[in-house]
Amino acid sequence: MESRYRETAFQQVGPDSNDQMSDDEQSICAGRPRRRAPSTDKKHKCLYCSYDTIYITNYKNHLRTHTGEKPFSCNYCVYKTTTKKTLVEHIRTHTGEKPYSCNMCTYGATTKQGLNRHMLIHTGEKPFACKFCPYRAREKSALRNHMLAIHTLKQ
């Protein structure tokens, strides 16, 4: 999914021109006097969409979703990504490192999401419900198996 970033000719507009941008936008406002809320002064506003953030790192990461730039590449395979965080998580699939460990059993996960999914086992939460009977499953794959076995449906 994330490989589908639009590659467009936005390159000539750099983050440096960002400050003027917000001024221009303000003056367009119909008939109202220019007013700048002090809290927006430190914000980095995206030139291409309504995104803004006070963190320059987040801003740079976000801009890459428009430019399609993927400066972080994996040493082990051809994988490239827009943020360091996703690269670090990806590299764990090669190294087998599992920094997210369950505090209720010995399970370890490579990502936060993986651990969250695992925690459902302990909390007993079953988010995947069968449409045809009261059956619920913790994993999507279990629901699929149920559909095949009980209702002989392919999903």
Which residues contribute to the site for Zn ion (CB under 5 A)?
A: 46, 48-49, 51, 74, 76-77, 79, 102, 104-105, 107, 130, 132-133, 135
| Contacts (Cβ under 8 Å, ≥6 apart) of 138 | 120, 121, 125, 126, 127, 128
Q: How far is the CB of 31 from Zn ion (least distance, A)?
A: 28
Q: Judged by CB, which is closer to Zn ion: 30, or 90?
A: 90
Q: Maximum distance among all alpha carbons in the chain?
A: 67
Q: Judged by CB, which is closer to Zn ion: 23, or 116?
A: 116
Q: How far apart are CA 90 and CA 81, in angstroms?
A: 9
* 142 within 8 A of 128, measured Cβ to Cβ: yes
Q: Judged by CB, which is closer to Zn ion: 26, or 61?
A: 61
Q: How far is the CB of 95 from Zn ion (least distance, A)?
A: 10
